[in-house]
Each structure stands twice: as C-alpha cells, then as structure tokens.
Amino acid sequence: MRYIISITGAAGFALVFGVGLWHGKPAEKVLLGALFAAVGFGLLARLWMGLLTQGLEDSLLTKQINAISEIDEPEEELPTEGGSMPAPNEQ
C-alpha cells in the first residue's frame, strides 16, 4: 500500500508542477502547490485503498458466513406417500 501512496503522491506532484510551469506561473508558487498536491493525492489514495480493502474484506466475510450457514442448516425431509400425514379431507 505504501508503494501506491508513493506513486500517487509523485503523480500529483508531477501533474501540478508540470501544469503550473506550463501556464507560466512563478516557480515558488508552483513548487508549493505541487508539494501540497503530492500530500493530497497521497492521502486520497490511502483513503481510497482503505475503503477498497475494507469492502473486499467485508465481502469475503459475508461469503464465508453464507457458506457456513448453508452447511449448518439441516435439510427438511419431505413426507413420503405412506407417511403419517393425514389426507386433506380427514381431520
């Protein structure tokens, strides 16, 4: 996860730095904006990856619970023809 956060921070820095210089802004302001962008991109990547991994973990736990509950539930036995159930017109 650290690798992804680092890559997104570097991408945010490069994007803001490149666009700022391309528009002819002063280098000091572009550098400061790029540094803030790197931190912001990194934090957003961490948040997104946390939500993604939590969702995947919840999905896996739900599948495991469903599989266990299917095993634990006994199957209902259907009565046979000669069973002890009375006929519909008998009471």
Structure tokens at 72: 């634990």
- Per-residue confidence at 65, pLDDT binned at 50, 70, 90? confident
What does each C-alpha distance from 91 to 80, 81, 83, 84 come to in angstroms? 19, 18, 16, 13
Q: What is the pLDDT of residue 79?
A: 57
Q: Is the pLDDT of residue 60 over 80?
A: yes
32-36, 60-64, 82-86: which range is least confident on average?
A: 82-86
Q: Would the pLDDT of 77 be above 70? A: no
pLDDT tier, 69 (very low <50, low <70, confident <90, very high otherwise): confident
Q: Which pTM was predicted?
A: 0.63
